Amino acid sequence: MGEKQFGIDNTRLSEYAEQIKEAHEKGVEIAIVIGGGNIFRGVQAEQGGMDRTHGDYMGMLATMINSMALQASLESKGVKTRLQSAIEMKEIAEPFVRRRAVRHLEKGRVVIFGAGTGNPYFTTDSAASLRAIEINADVILKGTRVDGIYTADPEKDPSAEKYETISFDEVYEKGLNVMDMTAFTLCKENDLPIIVFDMNAKGNLKRIIKGDQVGTLVK
Ligand code: GTP
Q: Do domains 1-136 and 138-219 have the same CATH topology?
A: yes
Predicted complex ipTM exceeds 0.95 = no
pLDDT (tens digit, 0 to 9) for every residue of the chain, 219 residues total?
999 999 999 999 999 999 999 999 999 999 999 999 999 987 788 888 999 999 999 999 999 999 999 999 999 999 999 999 999 999 999 999 999 999 999 999 999 999 999 999 999 999 999 999 999 999 999 999 889 999 988 888 989 999 999 999 999 999 998 999 999 999 999 999 999 999 999 999 999 999 999 999 999
Protein residue with least CA distance to atom 23, ligand 1: 94
For ligand 1, the distance from its centroid to the CA atom of residue 10, given in whole angstroms, is 26
Ligand 1, closest atom to CA 82?
20
Protein residue with least CA distance to atom 10, ligand 1: 94
pLDDT of residue 44: 80
pLDDT of residue 94: 98
CA 14, distance to chain mean position in Å, is: 16
Read off φ and ψ for residue 218, nearest 5 degrees: -105, 125
Parallel, antiparallel or unpaired: strands 110-114 and 81-85: parallel
Spatial distance between the Cα atoms of 51 and 45, rounded to a whole number of angstroms: 7
CATH of domain 138-219: 3.40.1160.10
Site residues for ligand 1, CB cut-off 6 Å: 82, 90-95, 103, 107
Protein residue with least CA distance to atom 20, ligand 1: 82
1-136 is classed in which CATH architecture? 3-Layer(aba) Sandwich (3.40)
